[in-house]
């Protein structure tokens, strides 16, 4: 997309099978704005969001089967903003959130069956913010939260059947914050809390049937803090606290 200040605006990507491919958004200040990704089968593919200050804004990912794929969010200051992931079957896939200061913001994950997949949150200072995971069947999957200073923030996991899965919280200083796990059937699963200094904070586990599962709390200094376990039937399961100095909030 060339040098600083260039803008690509797409009002609608139209019907099934259309593809928008961007190899690189190049230098600082470039902006790609998509008002709607349209209907089933449309694909938006980014090889790299490149240098600082580049912005990708998607107002809506549209209806079932649309895919937004970002190979790398590049260097500091790049922003990927999704206002809504739309209806059933839409997928947002990020291979790497790149280096310090990159931000992925999702205002709403929309209706049932939407998926947000992050392979790696990259290096220090990267932020993944989800305002609401919305209705049943939405999935947020993070393979690795990367190195020190990365943050995953979920404001609400909303209604039944939503799932937040973290394979690894990575190295020291990573933070996973969930404000509310919402209503019955929501699940937060952490395979490993990684090495020293990682923090998992849950403000409220919400209503009946919510589950927080931690397979391993990892090495010394990891912290699991739950402010409130909410109403009847909520479950907190820790498979292994293993080393000393791990602690649980009250």
Average pLDDT, the chain: 79
Residue 232 has pLDDT above 60, yes or no: yes
Give start and end residues of each alpha helix (H) in 72-172.
none
Burial class (CB in 10 A: 0-12, 13-18, 19+), 143: middle
For the residues 242-249, what does the mean pLDDT come to? 40
User: Over the stretch 169-226, which tens digit does the pLDDT of each residue have?
Assistant: 877 788 888 888 777 788 888 888 887 888 888 888 877 788 888 888 877 788 888 8
The C-alpha angle 119, 120, 125, rounded to 5 degrees, equals 150
Residue 185 pLDDT = 81
Q: Domain extents for the chain?
A: 56-73+80-248
Tokens of 68: 């937004």
Alpha carbons 103 and 121: distance in angstroms, whole number: 10
Residue 153 pLDDT = 84
Render 122-145 in DSSP notation, one character per residue.
-STT-EEEES---STT-EEEES--
- Strands 7-10 vs 115-118: parallel, antiparallel or unpaired: unpaired
Residue 50 pLDDT = 66
């Amino acid at each position: 997309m060339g040098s600083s200040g260039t803008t690509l605006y797409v009002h609608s990507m139209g019907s099934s099978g259309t593809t928008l491919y961007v190899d690189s958004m190049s230098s600082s200040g470039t902006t790609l704005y998509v008002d709607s990704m349209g209907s089933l089968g449309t694909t938006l593919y980014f090889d790299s969001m490149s240098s600082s200050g580049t912005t990708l804004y998607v107002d809506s990912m549209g209806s079932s089967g649309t895919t937004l794929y970002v190979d790398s969010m590049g260097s500091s200051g790049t922003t990927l903003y999704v206002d809504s992931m739309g209806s059933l079957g839409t997928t947002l896939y990020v291979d790497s959130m790149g280096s310090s200061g990159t931000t992925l913001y999702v205002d709403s994950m929309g209706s049932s069956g939407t998926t947000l997949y992050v392979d790696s949150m990259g290096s220090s200072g990267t932020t993944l913010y989800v305002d609401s995971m919305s209705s049943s069947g939405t999935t947020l999957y993070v393979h690795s939260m990367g190195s020190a200073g990365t943050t995953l923030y979920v404001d609400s996991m909303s209604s039944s059947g939503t799932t937040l899965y973290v394979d690894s919280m990575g190295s020291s200083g990573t933070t996973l914050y969930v404000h509310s796990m919402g209503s019955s059937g929501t699940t937060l699963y952490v395979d490993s809390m990684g090495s020293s200094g990682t923090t998992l904070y849950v403000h409220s586990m919400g209503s009946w049937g919510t589950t927080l599962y931690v397979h391993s709390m990892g090495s010394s200094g990891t912290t699991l803090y739950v402010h409130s376990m909410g109403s009847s039937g909520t479950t907190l399961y820790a498979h292994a606290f293993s080393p000393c100095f791990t602690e649980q909030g009250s």
